[in-house]
Structure 1
Amino acid sequence: MHHQMKKALSGAALCGLLGWSAATLGQQKDPNDPALKIYRASATKINDLVHTKLDVRFDYAKRYMYGKEWVTLHPHFYPTDSLTLDAKSMNINAVALVKNGKTVNLPYTYRDSLQLAIKLDRTYKSNEQYTIFIDYTAKPEEYKAVGSAAITDAKGLYFINPDGKDPGKPTEIWTQGESESSSVWFPTIDKSNQKSTSEISMTVEKKYKTLSNGLLVKQVNNANGTRTDTWKLDQPFAPYLFMMAVGDYAIVKDTWHGKEVSYYVEPAYEKYARDIFGDTPEMLSFYSKILGYDYPWPKYSQIIARDYVSGAMENVTATLHGQFVQKTDRELLDDDREGNSVIAHELFHHWFGDLATCESWSNLTVNESFADYSEYLWFEHKFGKDAADEHGYNALQGYFRTAQYSGDKDLVRFHYHDKEDMFDAITYQKGGCILNMLRNNVGDSAFFKSLNLYLKTNAYKATEAHQLRLAFEEVTGRDMNWFFNQWYYGQGYPTLDLSYAYDEAGRKTSVIIKQVQKTDKVWELPMAVDVYAGGKKERYMIDAKHRIDTFTFESAVKPDLVNVDADKVIVMKKDDHRDLSTYVFQYFNAPNYLDRREALDVCIEQQSTNADARKVVLAAVKDKFEGLRAYAIEHLKMDEAAIKSAIAPTLVDLAKNDVFAKVRSAAVEQLGGLADAQYASLFESKIADRSYAVEGKALSALYDVDSTKAFTTAKSLEKDAKGDLMSGIAEVYLKKGDESTLPFFRRHFESATGQEKFEAAAQYIVILANASNTEAVNHGYDQIREMTEQFRNKMVTNYIINMLTPALQKKQAAAQSATGATQEGYNAQVTHLQEIIKSLRSPKAAEE
């Protein structure tokens, strides 16, 4: 599964938008919470799933699914005469044993509409299989479940626009099983340590396409205008990975090693399907090769879902992606590989998670840390090590923010409030960074050989982190408990204080490493130190494992740089006591992205006062990696004459010619900040850029040198505006304050999703405050209220109220100075807005 905040805004994004301290987001659970006292063991296995056969049809009007199920099981080890299945919020119409082709009714009790307790006809031994038939109705809308930050809802089965009332939205059905929601649409043992083969028959209207696990083995046209599609998978997989999807899709097909690879997109995106998903066959080859284990399933399909409750989900052979992945070729120029990383993440799960599956949510790291790290591996292969290191750096910062504001936790944790809490930045981002550290520690060949052994040993089984440790120990011949106890079965990270000394007489250089973290834990940190002296680089391997360690190396001259953690892989924070000159040297001589990034950060701070620091910043604008070029451009202090004169011609060249959209847009934005008419023609030319981001920045920049032209240009661009171009047009319209632009803001708000919707709402509120058309204004305020109530988050609600309050004051002032019908209109707006603010202040709207 991949995180994508939808209704729940991510802390960092929200803080960035609101300019509020992230501390207000603190979500620390009460340490006295009784749930945290429960040891979350792997589920006890009494019966084991063997095969699940389903025959389903859908009732769009009622949002029901009518199901027939034949589930085959056997006792796990001890003999048993009973079976308990998870079955949430269903009508159970019949429960029977299938015997010699006939069904024999069995006694059962349906506990709390959550579990079906069935009395078998006799006691069965572990070598005896039996098949239960269940006739049931699934009613997902009636199941009340709490979601999480990663998964905002847990209904299992979703009907999207089932009555077709929303013209802007397709009619779809899709499922979401993780963590334990498959049992909302079919009775099963809904635990990750169970595995079952599947056969799923779906009866749908002929106009719709279907997708499920495995291969489409049969299609039958029925007399009543429907069609029944049967999907079958003969390899066992966990219940949370079962899936179905139904809708009006275009299917674009690729192949890999004779297996079908298909992309299900909305028909309007058919021509972009390969732009979005086209790297998939190369990913299949790359992952199969590094793991020494070919993609094990019979096909690979990917499908886009509207209103999806998370980012994406690795259902076996049938990955489901949220709508944010579905973009045109032009939008993908500004995607910054986000969609590509999600596609890689879900595919890698087909080894880590789908083939070898976490046996409990406590051990979710064996699924999600690997999928997170697979993004790094793919970026390294496809876009280069700098791109991978940038991606990894951003992931690590995400973890640090979480640890700071939401508390730190063990990577493998047996105590949690709710299983959904496991889907966090520790399991994902920190876990991915830990795998990168492990790879560095054992070396590439041992790392991938260990993964291969782990997969071969645990294929089609449920696993825990100890099995990963054992595979690494077997391959390397080393005890790895020190690493796993520290990073997997513990929490936190070291904070290092680094200082240096050079002994001229003894021709020795020393580095003093102090561990200054506030906890009692002292870390063992094997790492590389590179000493640059006399035009040469020497590498030394050290092992820091005390509160204070001093390491001394021979050095004929004082080193230009002693680079601690030279591979930049340790999960840590550090306070590094060294001169600016070492950072300047580091930028130009040390090889990694993080070496250059670290040096650049120090030099950015001093660019106004120090010529050497300025030299680094100006050089970084032309760095070999586009991510650092853009980063350096964004941090230029252009109000300094020395910087402006030195760099402006380079920025013009980058704005025109850099191959990467994010570099062009950063250059245009910096030049735009100068509000200098000499760049007007450049801004005009960039309004024709292929990138929406560049267009948006150019339009905004043009406004400051020629507002009339920018306004008329914005009008002409509305037709094909997406992403950052929408924001650029909005910026121009807000500066102009012209009421005729209100329909644009309304459309922008209606079409936006996730974080973008929040930004669009803020702009919409500003333009509504300046508008006089009462009907349009009051409708707009209703839309803002509806969005706010959907978020059900106190912080979001307060922010919206704080934006609506000055709008109310503005309307009250307008009403006082107006007369006649105009005054009546403003009074109606005032009354309506007062009601909305009052309703938002009520407890219901502001739940956390």
Structure 2
Amino acid sequence: MNQQLKQSLMGMLIGGMALAGLNTPLFAQSEKATQDDPALKIYRASATKINDLVHTKLDVRFDYAKRYLYGKAWVTLKPHFYPTDSLTLDAKGMDIKEVALAKGAANTPLKYTYDGMQLHIQLNKTYQATESYTVYISYTAKPDELKVKGSAAITNAKGLYFINPDGKEPNKPTQIWTQGETESSSVWFPTIDKTNQKTTQEISMTVEKKYVTLSNGKLVSQKNNADGTRTDTWKMDLPHSPYLFMMAVGEYAIVKDSWKGKEVSYYVEKPYEKYARNIFGNTPEMLTFYSKILGYDYPWVKYSQITARDYVSGAMENTTATLHGEFLQKTDRELLDNNNSNECVVAHELFHHWFGDLATAESWSNLTVNESFADYSEYLWLEHKYGKDAADEHALEAAQSYMSMVQYSGDKDLVRFHYHDKEDMFDQVTYQKGGRILHMLRNAVGDSAFFRSLNLYLRTNAFKATEAHQLRLAFEEVTGRDMNWFFNQWYFGKSFPQFDISYNYNDAAKKVTVIIQQIQRENKTWQIPMAIDVYEGSKVTRHNVTVANRVDSFTFAYNTKPDLVNVDAEKVILSKTDDHRAFSTYAFQYHHAPGYLNRRIAIEEAADAQATNPEALKLLQAALKDKYHGLRSYTISKLNFENETVKSATLPIIQELAKQDPSSLVRAAALDALGALKNAQYASLFEAAIKDPSYAVEAAGLEGLAALDIDKAYTLAKQLQNDSKGKLVNAITGVYARKGNPDDVAFVANKFDETSGQDKLNAAFDYLGFLSKINNTDAVIKGIEQVKAMCVQFNNPQVNNYISNWMQEISRKKADEATAVSGDNRAALEKQAEYFKKASEEVKSSSKD
């Protein structure tokens, strides 16, 4: 499952918080709440296995009007080890019609009790571990009538979703799709809904002929029925866990590809058919790449990807049939500004087909063996396809997201057997931190041993449930080394080291001593292998050391005084570091130490000194022409144009970047920087940008022009609005907000409705900003209700609190405006202020549910 949305939300809300001083009142309160939570005293063990699933056969049809599924299930099982005469199946919120023992064509009724969540069945005899049996169940699933709680990563847990089933929403297709993770498959079919169960499957879906279907495995038959419907049967011959079962139904275009004779297909809404290969087209190359580095070919019969409206998470790795949120559907113009985000989602879900689907976490406590690997697969793909700079940038953003979470809510173990709710496992520790830990493990053992260990782990645990210790054992077998030191620190512990680094040069002895202190507040000393590079001009000497004490010192000889001593030369360690050295070493580092992070750190140091140090300014000028577009954009964002020396030294470069940089993101960043100057000499540049193929560049041009001539920008915004996506929508909404014309509310409201994923949150900010500027009570009430519905969908306390506070500010603003007018205008503004206030309270209270 992809957590990109949650990561983006957290990054937006707390990404700017300082990482120093983690013992803030907020963090301390979080720790106390954790200690007082009785749920955290429960040991979350793997589910006890009394019976094992063997095969699951389903026959289902759908009642769109009632949002029901009418199902028949044949569940084949056998006792795990001990003899048993009973069976308990998870079956949430169903009407159970019949329960029987199926033997040949005959059904023998079985006694059962049902409490609305579990079906307890008395078998006809005591079965031995060598005997299998099949239970038949006729049932009705009623997902919309089931009250269940989701999480920040998976915002709803009702398992089966009817989208626009009555067709009343004109701009939304009618669809059905399922979401099994964590334990929601049992909302739509009876099963043992635990990760440590594995079963083969067969699903027959009866649907209207106009719809296409998708499920796990291979489409083995399609049968036209006398009533005008069609029954599609999908069969899965290899076992997988129940949470990975899926169905999808809708009017889709299917674009087919192939890999080694296996079908690779992309299901998209018909308007996106012509873009499908640009959205998903690297999938066959990913299959080849991952199969090669793992030494284990993609094991499943086919690979399909499908999009879904109103999806409750980023994406889901249902075996052979990944489900993506609609945010993945983008036009070619949108993809220009996507910065590989779509591909990271595609890569993440595909890699799960080895780590998660093939070898599956035996419990949610060990979710790391699923999600940390999928997170790290994004790094591996970017490194392979776009180079190490792109991968390292992605890794840094992930690390920052994790550290921001620590600042906001405290840290947790990666493998954790104590949690409040299983949904809590889907966090930045499991994803982003886990991915960085795998990167450190790769660095510690070397590429060859790392990938050979993954191969051994997969071969040993294929089609089984597994845990972090089995991963450790695979690494130990391959490397011949005890790896407990690494796993105890990173997998079965929490936090990260904080280093204070200083240097002592002895020119007489021609030696430099590096002093590394561990200053983390926890009573924990980390064992960290790292590389230290000593640069004497063009000569680089690498020293591999291990930090193992609260204070360590390492002494290295030199011939000439080093230009740079680069601690953690690979910049792979997840840590917070205070490195005490002269700026000249950072200038040398930028030009000579390879890697994105070495250059970025030097840029950060230069940004701090740009106003007073000519050498720093010179470094920033060079960084504006860095080989990697991400660092060019980052450098632009760090320039201080309030300093005339900085401005005169960098503006000519910024103008050239705005005109002709090959990256649309750099062009947009350069235009944003120029726009902030509000200088009329750039008006023609902004107008030219409005014709750029990139929406981000168009948006930057429009915003720059709006700062100079709002009326002209407003006229151009009207011309652009019919072909607007992404950041251009944000820019147009901003222009409309400044004009405050209530006639523009339809555009803003409709675009908000059409938007999904992270863009939905950005659109909410713009929408509220627009509503704060207009005096139209009906439009304000409608807009508030739309934003409230988004808050319910995201179900993210941080987001809800943020939006609640903003609504409170708008309420005060409108109340103040009301005091300055009279009559109907005053009454309208007072009503809007009151509605914002009420909505603010409702949104905040909803985050506590």
TM category, shorter: over 0.9
The corresponding residue for 2:534 is 531
Instruction: Kindly provide the amino acid, as one letter, of the partner of residue 447 in structure 2.
Output: D
Counterpart-to-counterpart distance in 2, 1:261 and 1:212? 14
Counterpart-to-counterpart distance in 2, 1:451 and 1:570? 21
Evaluate the alpha carbon distance shift between residue 829 and residue 59 of structure 1 in structure 2; reply closer, same or farther with a 3 A threshold: farther
Contact 1:797 1:845 in 2 (8 A): no
Give deviations 1:747-789, integer Å, cap 9, x for gaps: 3333333444444344434444444555444444544555556
Evaluate the alpha carbon distance shift between residue 599 and residue 293 of structure 1 in structure 2; reply closer, same or farther with a 3 A threshold: same
Evaluate the alpha carbon distance shift between residue 658 and residue 467 of structure 1 in structure 2; reply closer, same or farther with a 3 A threshold: same
The corresponding residue for 1:66 is 70
Counterpart-to-counterpart distance in 2, 1:212 and 1:644? 58
Counterpart-to-counterpart distance in 1, 2:158 and 2:5? 17
- RMSD of aligned C-alpha atoms? 2.2
Counterpart-to-counterpart distance in 2, 1:232 and 1:507? 71
Does residue 445 of structure 2 align to residue 442 of structure 1? Answer: yes
Counterpart-to-counterpart distance in 1, 2:98 and 2:329? 42
Contact 2:183 2:193 in 1 (8 A): yes
Does residue 570 of structure 2 align to residue 579 of structure 1? Answer: no
Does residue 420 of structure 2 align to residue 417 of structure 1? Answer: yes
The corresponding residue for 2:11 is 12
The corresponding residue for 2:242 is 239
Does residue 714 of structure 2 align to residue 715 of structure 1? Answer: no
Equivalent runs, 1:335-346 vs 2, <5 Å: 335-346=338-349
Instruction: Kindly provide the amino acid, as one letter, of the partner of residue 13 in structure 1.
Output: M
The corresponding residue for 2:848 is 847
Contact 1:50 1:195 in 2 (8 A): yes
The corresponding residue for 2:98 is 94
Give the Å deviation of 1:740: 3.7
Contact 1:176 1:182 in 2 (8 A): yes
Contact 2:808 2:836 in 1 (8 A): no
The corresponding residue for 2:804 is 798
Which of residues 614, 621, 626 is equivalent to 2:624? 621
Instruction: Kindly provide the amino acid, as one letter, of the partner of residue 798 in structure 1.
Output: S
Counterpart-to-counterpart distance in 1, 2:668 and 2:765? 23
Counterpart-to-counterpart distance in 2, 1:776 and 1:345? 40
Evaluate the alpha carbon distance shift between residue 771 and residue 544 of structure 1 in structure 2; reply closer, same or farther with a 3 A threshold: closer
Equivalent runs, 1:152-551 vs 2, <5 Å: 152-551=155-554
Give the Å deviation of 1:586: 0.6
The corresponding residue for 2:815 is 809
Among the aligned pairs, what percent are the same residue?
Answer: 61
Counterpart-to-counterpart distance in 2, 1:316 and 1:576? 46
Contact 2:211 2:250 in 1 (8 A): yes
Instruction: Kindly provide the amino acid, as one letter, of the partner of residue 208 in structure 1.
Output: Y
Evaluate the alpha carbon distance shift between residue 711 and residue 797 of structure 1 in structure 2; reply closer, same or farther with a 3 A threshold: closer
- Aligned residue for 1:67, secondary structure, equals strand
Contact 2:52 2:78 in 1 (8 A): yes
- Aligned residue for 2:311, secondary structure, equals coil
The corresponding residue for 1:834 is 834
Evaluate the alpha carbon distance shift between residue 279 and residue 104 of structure 1 in structure 2; reply closer, same or farther with a 3 A threshold: same
Evaluate the alpha carbon distance shift between residue 766 and residue 194 of structure 1 in structure 2; reply closer, same or farther with a 3 A threshold: closer
Give deviations 1:211-242, integer Å, cap 9, x for gaps: 00000000001111111000001000001100
Counterpart-to-counterpart distance in 2, 1:558 and 1:642? 32
Give the Å deviation of 1:646: 2.0
Contact 1:71 1:133 in 2 (8 A): yes
Instruction: Kindly provide the amino acid, as one letter, of the partner of residue 433 in structure 2.
Output: K
Counterpart-to-counterpart distance in 2, 1:18 and 1:728? 26
Counterpart-to-counterpart distance in 2, 1:386 and 1:575? 23
Give the Å deviation of 1:575: 1.0
The corresponding residue for 1:820 is none
Contact 2:204 2:233 in 1 (8 A): yes
Counterpart-to-counterpart distance in 2, 1:156 and 1:779? 29
Moved more, 648-657 or 478-487: 648-657
- Aligned residue for 2:36, secondary structure, equals coil
Contact 2:696 2:728 in 1 (8 A): yes
Contact 2:149 2:156 in 1 (8 A): yes
Structure 2, unmatched stretches of 5+, are none
Instruction: Kindly provide the amino acid, as one letter, of the partner of residue 803 in structure 1.
Output: E
Give the Å deviation of 1:355: 0.4
Does residue 695 of structure 2 align to residue 663 of structure 1? Answer: no
TM-score normalised by L of structure 2 = 0.95
Give deviations 1:130-178, integer Å, cap 9, x for gaps: 1110000111112221111111111011111111111111111111111
Counterpart-to-counterpart distance in 2, 1:416 and 1:542? 36
Instruction: Kindly provide the amino acid, as one letter, of the partner of residue 9 in structure 2.
Output: S
TM-score normalised by L of structure 1 = 0.95
Counterpart-to-counterpart distance in 2, 1:756 and 1:359? 35
Instruction: Kindly provide the amino acid, as one letter, of the partner of residue 461 in structure 2.
Output: N
Instruction: Kindly provide the amino acid, as one letter, of the partner of residue 814 in structure 2.
Output: L
Contact 1:840 1:846 in 2 (8 A): no
- Aligned residue for 1:699, secondary structure, equals helix
- Aligned residue for 1:841, secondary structure, equals helix
Counterpart-to-counterpart distance in 1, 2:117 and 2:425? 22
Evaluate the alpha carbon distance shift between residue 392 and residue 788 of structure 1 in structure 2; reply closer, same or farther with a 3 A threshold: closer
Give the Å deviation of 1:810: 5.2
Counterpart-to-counterpart distance in 1, 2:191 and 2:793? 31
- Aligned residue for 2:124, secondary structure, equals strand
Instruction: Kindly provide the amino acid, as one letter, of the partner of residue 516 in structure 1.
Output: I
Does residue 701 of structure 2 align to residue 702 of structure 1? Answer: no
Counterpart-to-counterpart distance in 2, 1:745 and 1:810? 25
The corresponding residue for 1:819 is none
The corresponding residue for 1:34 is 38
Moved more, 183-192 or 92-101: 92-101
Instruction: Kindly provide the amino acid, as one letter, of the partner of residue 652 in structure 2.
Output: P
Counterpart-to-counterpart distance in 1, 2:198 and 2:789? 42
Which of residues 95, 106, 109 is equivalent to 1:105? 109
Give the Å deviation of 1:4: 4.1
- Aligned residue for 2:633, secondary structure, equals helix
Contact 1:252 1:263 in 2 (8 A): yes
Structure 1, unmatched stretches of 5+, are 817-822
Counterpart-to-counterpart distance in 2, 1:412 and 1:70? 35
Instruction: Kindly provide the amino acid, as one letter, of the partner of residue 300 in structure 1.
Output: Y
Does residue 83 of structure 2 align to residue 84 of structure 1? Answer: no
Give the Å deviation of 1:2: 0.6
Counterpart-to-counterpart distance in 2, 1:490 and 1:700? 47
Instruction: Kindly provide the amino acid, as one letter, of the partner of residue 92 in structure 1.
Output: I
- Aligned residue for 1:31, secondary structure, equals helix
Contact 1:379 1:388 in 2 (8 A): yes
Contact 1:5 1:149 in 2 (8 A): no
Contact 1:839 1:845 in 2 (8 A): no
Contact 1:241 1:316 in 2 (8 A): yes
Counterpart-to-counterpart distance in 2, 1:844 and 1:704? 38
Contact 2:705 2:713 in 1 (8 A): yes
- Aligned residue for 1:68, secondary structure, equals strand
Instruction: Kindly provide the amino acid, as one letter, of the partner of residue 440 in structure 2.
Output: M
The corresponding residue for 2:648 is 645
Evaluate the alpha carbon distance shift between residue 442 and residue 16 of structure 1 in structure 2; reply closer, same or farther with a 3 A threshold: closer
Contact 2:811 2:832 in 1 (8 A): no
Give deviations 1:349-379, integer Å, cap 9, x for gaps: 0000000000111111111110000000000
Give the Å deviation of 1:685: 1.3
- Aligned residue for 2:151, secondary structure, equals coil
The corresponding residue for 2:57 is 53
Instruction: Kindly provide the amino acid, as one letter, of the partner of residue 11 in structure 2.
Output: A
